[in-house]
Amino acid sequence: MRPRSVPGPERSPNPLRDPRDRRLPRVAGPCALVIFGVTGDLARGKLLPAVYDLANRGLLPPSFGLVGFARRDWAHEDFAQVTYQAVKEHARTPFREDVWRQLAEGVRFVPGQFDDDAAFDSAAKTLEELDASRGTGGNHAFYLSVPPKFFPRVVQQLRRSGLSEPVGDSWRRIVVEKPFGHDLTSARKLNAVMHDVFPEESVFRIDHYLGKETVQNILALRFANSLFEPVWNRRYVDHVQITMAEDIGIGGRAGYYDGIGAARDVLQNHLLQLLALTAMEEPVSFDARALRAEKEKVLSAIRLPADLDAYTARGQYAAGWQGGVQVPGYLDEQGIAPDSQTETYAAVRLEVDTRRWAGVPFYLRTGKRLGRRVTEVALIFQRAPHLPFDATETAELGQNALVMRIQPDEGVTVRFGSKVPGAAMEVRDVTMDFAYGESFTETSPEAYERLMLDVLVGDPPLFPRQEEVELSWAILDPIEEHWARRAAEQRVRPDPYPAGSWGPLSAEAMMALDGRVWRRL
- Annotated catalytic sites, by residue? 270
In angstroms, the Cα distances linking 368 to 328, 341, 465, 514 are 12, 15, 28, 25
DSSP collapsed to 3 states, 155-190:
HHHHHHCCCCCCCCCCCEEEEEECCCCCCHHHHHHH
Between CA 159 and CA 154 the distance in angstroms is: 9
- Phi and psi dihedrals of 307, rounded to 5? -105, 95
Which pairing describes strands 361-367 and 237-245: parallel, antiparallel, or unpaired? Answer: parallel
**Taking the C-alpha atoms of 224, 227, 232 and 237 in order, what is their torsion angle to the nearest 10 degrees?**
-150
Strands (E), 436-518: 495-498
Q: Which of 449, 466, 379, 394 lies closest to 426 in space, CA to CA? A: 394
DSSP annotation of 396 reads B
Beta strand 140-144 with 172-177 is parallel
User: What is the biggest distance separating any 2 CA atoms in the chain, rounded to whole angstroms?
Assistant: 90
In angstroms, the CA 208 to CA 340 distance is 28
Rounded CA-CA distance 305/479 in Å is 10
Ramachandran sector of residue 500 (left: φ over 0; alpha: ψ -120 to 50; beta: rest): left
The residues that bridge with 203 in the sheet, in sequence order, are 174
Give whole-number Cα distances, 21 to 26, 223, 514, in Å. Answer: 10, 20, 49
What letter represents residue 173's amino acid?
A: R
Q: Assign 116 to helix, strand or coil.
A: coil
Please measure the distance between the N-terminal and C-terminal CA atoms of the chain and give it in whole angstroms.
68
Identify the sign of the CA torsion 5, 224, 213, 356. Answer: positive
- CA 318 to chain CA centroid, Å, is 27
CA angle 279, 282, 285 (to 5 degrees): 135
